[in-house]
Amino acid sequence: MEDRLILAGILVVACAVLIGLIERWRSGGPSALPRLDCDPSPLSSAAEIAYAYARERRLPLASVADRKGGSQWFETSILKNVPVSATCLRSGRRTRLAAGSYVHALPDGLSRSASGKADYTDPMIGRRAFRAYLRWMTSVW
């Protein structure tokens, strides 16, 4: 009789844990991440989507972005955390910019210096890199 009570207790706890995991997955699982309209997508539209997602989820990065420039801040943050591609103005060739490269987002493109003159134009981000950024963004703080 005691064995059956212990087994029933374990079963109840296992069911509660399973229900909790299912609810957690439904509220924040992989399907809950926003998607880009096309692959690759312009960096500016990806930054706007990331900013809206951060505000909707009340993530700490949203308040940082609110103080430092909104979606423009997210463009620079994406550049620091995931690779993007852009067209080099000097050569006209498409270049892949590694994550963490010292590139700043400007209204007319990307710049390797804080001078304000664009070195790259037409920055694009791929679907996988964007999803990786969103996952990173939800893990901060």
Q: Tens digits of per-residue pLDDT, 45-93?
A: 999 999 999 998 888 888 888 898 888 888 888 888 898 888 888 888 8
Q: Which residues contact 129 (CB under 8 A, 6 or more apart)?
A: 82, 83, 84
**pTM (2 d.p.):** 0.69
Please tell me the predicted confidence (pLDDT) of residue 50: 92
Q: Tell me what the mean pLDDT of segment 119-126 comes to.
A: 86
Residue scoring higher pLDDT (40 or 37): 40
pLDDT > 90? residue 36: no
User: How much of the chain exceeds pLDDT 90, in percent?
Assistant: 11
**Segments making up each domain of the chain, as ranges:** 36-139
Q: What is the mean pLDDT of residues 98-114?
A: 74
Bond from prior residue into 123 cis (ω within 30 degrees of 0): no
Average pLDDT of the segment spanning 22-42: 70
